[in-house]
Amino acid sequence: MILATAGCATTPAAPALTPATLAQKQAQCAGKEDSWVAPAPPVRVFGNTYDVGTCGITALLVTSAQGHVLVDSGAPDVAGQIVANIRALGADPAQVAWVLSSHEHYDHVGATAQIMRITGARAAALSAARDQLESGRALPEDPQAASLAPFEGFPVARALRDGETLIAGPLAFTVHANPAHTPGSASWTWQSCEGAICRTMAYADSLSTPAADGYRFGDHPDYVAQVRRGFAAVATLPCDILLTPHPSASRLGERMAEGSLVDAGACRAYAARSEAAFDAMLARENAR
């Protein structure tokens, strides 16, 4: 359900910011592309959407003249890096009004509590993940639960239903449940503009399906069906520019370098690749 909408054409001008170049980020992250904590400079993705995360974990700052929104925060030890990247852009961390979450694992939301204290921001998330984000612990039915480290929980001021939209000044973020990677997995879509050109940004949550030792998906047919619903949800996202919590999962750096960020079929292809990998994993599991 959409509570309200915000047209990109009426969005006030975002503050003038100075991101690093993609070449600068690639040089700093060379050999550390999958590191959760290796620092990376902030870069513009498109319009008012900036990646302020680490080399291997995405955190997105979406800016406006009326305040900013941070999408994911990274691992517990990187809160200072994320805030420093916001400042390095020329943005004021105190103007971050909301922090949104993809899924309830410490590598993507572990820094949220500290960033909220620093910025004064509130948290919004899919309602299915609220209890886990507030407690800092995964659901027992999460296939990775037995191997996950806890994180510092944080209060969720807005728990949204699937398809609901959070309005933050001129910004509008719609949440989409896609319970493949975790039971509370959520994707987010919004619009960013460069001049008169507006694109739908799709921050599609992780679709990989790792599990703790001893877990067999075949013993949990209801969860397997849930995973497939997650793939289907991502395949049908409005999607001009695909972003993912691990940038390598969507080849973000390579696509930026190639000038091929815009691809209306990217979310469908991402979901199809992920489902094929899941099917192969199930086949291996059944063969054992």
Report the catalytic residues: 103, 105, 107-108, 181, 215, 246
Q: What is the rounded CA–CA span in Å between residue 190 and residue 200?
A: 6
Residue 84 structure tokens: 């420093």
List, in order, residues 6 or more apart from 188 with CB less than 8 Å away: 71, 100, 102, 173, 174, 175, 176, 202, 203
